[in-house]
């Protein structure tokens, strides 16, 4: 690895080809970061790579196809990252899955599926990448929680359970990483335009833009070493849907 690569800050983002994940990647790339993203669909990764060559010609983008509902894929992705860099400055655990339904009515296995994607993937990837962060005594981990992490709502079912758990994971990790100088921020965005809302009959301004959240993440990252945003709660101006 050349000295330039060693000096360039590095960010790892799961679910990085669309929506919030893509917005996070673009904001950090614009600020001089090299980026490594994973996603389930190779075609989406290839399209992002082609776009990157035009929009961010001075920045490296590394792509990796992985189904983060599978622990083996999570660990393979972590090994890929470890082969790229000796230090990771930012980890954004963004990958997630939404399956609406009431607890009493959702199909068998829904809780397990959502736990694997929304919680276990972040847990296993964070553990695997901490050796690239702790020795350097600096770095920032962002965990994508949700408004659903702090309030129950109709038809939230197991999704809400997993997001409550993700906030708990973030709180525990925050306490454990203090002695290592690592920051942990729980992101709690409200309704944000993404593929999940394709076809929704709402005015554009009714939901937040992914870039709104991404710019706030960069602001949180930009604070001095003596300050941290522990929880970042962002809602549409007109309130929750």
pLDDT tens readout for residues 40-61? 999 999 999 999 999 999 999 9
User: What does the pLDDT read at residue 184?
Assistant: 98
For residues 45 and 63, what is the distance between their CA atoms, to the nearest angstrom? 6
**119-158 residue pLDDT tens:** 999 999 999 999 999 999 999 999 999 999 999 988 999 9
For residue 221, indicate whether it is catalytic.
no
For residue 6, what pLDDT is reported? 58
How far is it, in rounded angstroms, from Cα 79 to Cα 38? 12
Residue 199: what pLDDT?
A: 64
**pLDDT single digits (tens) 161-182:** 999 999 999 999 999 999 999 9
Per-residue pLDDT tens digits for 63-122: 999 999 999 999 999 999 999 999 999 999 999 999 999 999 999 999 999 999 999 999
DSSP state, 120?
I
Contact between residue 37 and residue 62 where contact means Cβ atoms under 8 Å apart: yes
202: pLDDT strictly greater than 50: yes
In this predicted structure, the answer to whether residue 4 has a pLDDT above a threshold of 60 is no
Catalytic residue among 62, 120, 159, 221: 159
Candidate CATH numbers 1.20.1290.10, 3.40.50.720, 1.10.3720.10, 2.60.120.560; the one for domain 3-234: 3.40.50.720
* Model pTM score: 0.94
The four Cα atoms 230, 222, 215, 65 give a dihedral, to 10 degrees, of -80
Whether 69 and 113 have beta carbons less than 8 Å apart is answered as yes
């Amino acid at each position: 690895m050349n000295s330039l690569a060693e000096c360039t800050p590095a960010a790892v983002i799961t679910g990085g080809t669309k929506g919030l994940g893509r917005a996070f990647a673009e904001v950090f790339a614009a600020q001089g970061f090299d980026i490594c993203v994973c996603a389930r669909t190779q075609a989406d990764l290839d399209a992002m790579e082609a776009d990157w060559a035009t929009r961010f010609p001075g920045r490296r983008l590394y792509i990796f196809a992985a189904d983060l509902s599978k622990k083996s894929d999570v660990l393979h992705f972590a090994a890929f990252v470890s082969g790229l860099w000796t230090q990771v400055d930012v980890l954004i655990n963004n990958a997630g899955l939404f399956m609406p339904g009431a607890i009493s009515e959702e199909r068998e296995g829904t809780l397990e599926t959502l736990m694997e994607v929304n919680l276990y993937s972040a847990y296993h990837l964070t553990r695997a990448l901490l050796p690239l962060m702790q020795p350097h005594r600096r770095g920032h981990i962002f965990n994508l929680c949700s408004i659903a992490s702090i309030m129950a709502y109709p038809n939230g079912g197991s999704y809400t359970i997993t997001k409550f758990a993700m906030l708990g994971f973030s709180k525990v990790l925050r306490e454990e990483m203090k002695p290592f100088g690592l920051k942990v921020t729980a992101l709690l965005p409200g309704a944000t335009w993404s593929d999940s809302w394709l076809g929704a009959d709402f005015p554009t301004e009714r939901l937040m833009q992914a870039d709104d959240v991404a710019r706030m993440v960069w602001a949180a990252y930009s604070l001095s070493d003596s300050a941290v945003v522990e929880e970042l709660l962002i809602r549409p101006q007109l309130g929750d849907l």
